Amino acid sequence: MKNEINICPVCESKDTLRTIEGFETVVVRGISIPVQYKKFKCYNCNESFESPEFDSHDKAYRIYRDKFGLLQPEKMKWIREAIGVDIAEFSKMSGIDADAIRRFENGALQDVLSDMIYKEILNYVI
């Protein structure tokens, strides 16, 4: 089946990409998580790559967070914004490194302690 992308980013061939869908296992902190993937394969150069909007690692992190009761990135950002502080101010008040806050709010998997700090601050917001 052809997809909406029609130029290979590797060999720049036109109309050689096909969509491949299936399941793969992503290991997150020692836990195997099956996730559905959507990849593109170029039949000219034989390279395959993930769709930018369909990141299997992001999906696995979201499943992991749900399974272990961790906050999702958009909720973490909402908490910070709800108290009206920028990342630097949130870092000072929470003790979480500013670079870590940026990573967490952009999808990196947070540690349990940082998650607990966000949840404690959430208790003051609601």
Position 28 in a domain: yes
Question: Does residue 121 form part of some domain?
Answer: yes
Task: Quote the pLDDT of residue 11.
Answer: 94
Assessment of whether the complete model's pTM goes beyond 0.85? no
Give the domain range for residue 25.
17-64
CA angle 67, 72, 78 (to 5 degrees): 150
Structural domain includes residue 6: no
Q: Do 60 and 95 fall within a single domain?
A: no
Q: Decide if 54 contacts 48 (C-beta within 8 A).
A: no
Regarding whether 77 and 60 lie in a shared domain, the answer is no
Q: Verify that 24 and 59 share a domain, yes or no.
A: yes
Q: What is the pLDDT of residue 23?
A: 93
The ranges of the chain with pLDDT < 50 are: 1-3
Q: Reading across the β-sheet that carries 31-42, which strands appear in turn?
A: 17-28, 31-42, 48-50
Which helix (H) or strand (E) covers residue 101, if one does?
Answer: helix 98-105
pLDDT, residue 5, reads 67
Residues 57 and 82 grouped into a single domain: no
Residue with tokens 């979201």: 62
Residue 50 domain flag: yes
Residue with token string 């959507």:
38
Q: Long-range contacts made by residues 25-32, C-beta under 8 angstroms, separation at least 24?
A: 26/56, 26/57, 26/59, 26/60, 28/60, 28/61, 28/64, 28/109, 29/64, 29/109, 31/64, 31/67
